[in-house]
Amino acid sequence: VTATLIFTGVNIDSEFKREEFQLWEALTRKLDPKAGVVVFDTASPLEFKTGYEVVRFDDNPGHLSHGGGDGWGRTFTAGIQFAIDEGYDYVCYRERDCFVARPVREVTERMRRTNVKAAHFFLPHYQFPENAFAVYNVDFMWDIKFVEKYDWRNRKPIPMGDTPAVLWRHTPECIIQDILGDDLWLLPWWGSRNDRFAVNYANLHEYCPYEPPTWLHMAQDMRLYHRFLELNGITLP
Amino acid sequence: VKTLVFGGCYVDTEHKREVVTLWARLARNRAPNMSIALFDSASPFDPLQFIPRSLDIDIYSFPENAGHLSHGGGDGAGRALCAGLEHAIEWEFDYAVHWGTDLVFAKPIDEVIGRVSKAEVEVACLGLSQYQFYVWEFAVFAVPWLKRTNFIQKYDWRSVRGPYPHFPRPSLYKKMIPEWRLQEIAGDDLWMLPYSGHRNIGDTVTFANMEEAFPYYPPVWLHMANDMRTYRRFLELNGVAL
């Protein structure tokens, strides 16, 4: 039996994020009921309810793109370390605002049939892959010393406006791609990172004319998340 | 590891002749020790005449041009794809790399095969920014997988003919569009290579703006550049001298 850990990070500082996380949890319970799940809380100002195990950090180091520390990287590497320490076979990071319409189990089965150790989503509009959803073979992450190499404490704020070559050295997606090297593969599941507000609940079906998107990141509107679930035929309690 | 690199062509203009010649030179440069084959659909400009013999490319000619689905004809591209895959099976290659002749690709092919074989991936293609389907103009197939899955028979290039009818919903086109059909057959065995590139429909990438369009590093591949200067700029940015 393959043991998979799904983890995410939260910093609940608004009603919207609280609602978003509740939906994330409901979707995770529906699609991956047998997976282990742990939530890393970066000292959220607002309380939130969850049935999952919560690991609470005492502080919020901030976000690299907002001039702060690498709070994201702390959560990311903490989850991977958790999976290593607890003896999981696979570990999946799924960001709180990343919704995926298919179970993580499908990815781990796909990986087991091959020797693929690291899987991310293809990100159409950037030169780096999407890391809001990533699945790794835990032994592999231990072998390559991923947590040590990522070294979140020594990450510096992203110098926005600097040259792309400099940005590459500071952007987590790029750093991760460099660490994973030739072992990184992309899943052929189509979706959107909605950081440019190209997609909304009214145009989602036109944006994805052939079939509903398999994933949606940064919807920034609960109506859009619900439309995503509706198009994928997913009903949640 | 024995690898076949192949592409298909129909050359009816001076520009296409230049593009296919560039492909042949680039393919030999990127795959110096591999077998390379070109499947020609009875082109008015005969590749046997214009591809330099020194490149050691095996050229096979179909007796007629099957046409192109989007122009109301048959699936000529699918025929060339299947011919290459059949050739790889018949001659017992380990991997077959389908490399379209209007696509430039910067990485050494043995590096790609190394990645694929290490991961034991059996079918791989590229991502595409503009569409929901993927790029099969550069795709790697493990030959034993092709045999095991009856891939060629399932694709059945003769089964679809253009032009595409006017379906009421785009989703209905999936059963006709080659990329969707290939994706359907590949199923859960399909993976995507994390190589950044672009299908240049609409000429959004030019020789002048390529560096801005790919700010982090040069594109690994470029399809349908439509301008020789753009292809050359691609090679220049990637440090490939032919």
Sort strands B35-40 and B3-9 into parallel, antiparallel or unpaired: parallel
Q: What is the pLDDT of residues A18-39, one digit of tens each?
A: 999 999 999 999 999 999 999 9
Residues contacting B138, CB < 8 A, separation 6+:
B97, B98, B99, B100, B103, B105, B125, B126, B221
Side chain identity, residue A51: G
Count of other CB atoms within 10 angstroms of residue A103: 18
Q: Model confidence at B227, in pLDDT bands (50, 70, 90)?
A: very high
- For every residue of B93-142, DSSP letters joined together read -SEEEEE-TTEEE-S-HHHHHHHHHHHT-SEEEE--SSSSS-EEEEEEEE
pLDDT of residue A33: 97
Output the pTM of the full model. Answer: 0.96
In chain A, residues with a C-beta closer than 8 Å to the C-beta of B119 are 114-117, 183, 185
Q: Do A210 and B173 touch (CB under 8 A)?
A: yes
- Structure token pair of residue B148: 């095991």
Residues contacting A153, CB < 8 A, separation 6+:
A69, A70
> Under an 8 Å CB criterion, which residues of A touch B?
106, 109-110, 113-117, 120, 122, 124-125, 127-129, 164-165, 167-168, 174, 177, 182-188, 190, 208-211
* Angle, helices B14-30/B228-237, rounded to nearest 10 degrees: 20
Q: Which of B133, B183, B194 sits opposite A186 (nearest CB)?
A: B194
Count of other CB atoms within 10 angstroms of residue B222: 27
Q: What is the mean pLDDT of chain B?
A: 96
Q: Which of B115, B170, B183 sits opposite A188 (nearest CB)?
A: B183
Residue A202 main-chain phi, psi, to 5 deg: -85, -30
Distance CA(A71)–CA(A73), nearest Å, equals: 5
Q: Model confidence at B168, in pLDDT bands (50, 70, 90)?
A: confident
Q: How many alpha carbons fall within 13 Å on the CB side of residue A234?
A: 24
Distance from CA of B170 to the nearest CA of A (A): 5
Q: What is the mean pLDDT of chain A?
A: 95
Distance from CA of B80 to the nearest CA of A (A): 24
Q: What is the pLDDT of residues A132-175, one digit of tens each?
A: 999 999 999 999 999 999 999 999 998 888 888 888 889 999 99
pLDDT of residue A125: 82
Q: What is the DSSP letter of B169?
A: S
Q: Do B128 and A187 touch (CB under 8 A)?
A: no
| Residue in chain B lying closest to A109 (CA) | B188
Distance from CA of B13 to the nearest CA of A (A): 32
Q: What is the pLDDT of residues B66-89, one digit of tens each?
A: 999 988 999 999 999 999 999 999
Q: Residue A236: is its pLDDT beyond 90?
A: yes
- Structure token pair of residue B165: 């009818």
Q: Do B119 and A183 touch (CB under 8 A)?
A: yes
ipTM score for this prediction? 0.95
Distance from CA of A82 to the nearest CA of B (A): 25
Q: Do B214 and A127 touch (CB under 8 A)?
A: yes
Q: Which of B118, B130, B217 sits opposite A182 (nearest CB)?
A: B118
Q: Do A208 and B129 touch (CB under 8 A)?
A: no
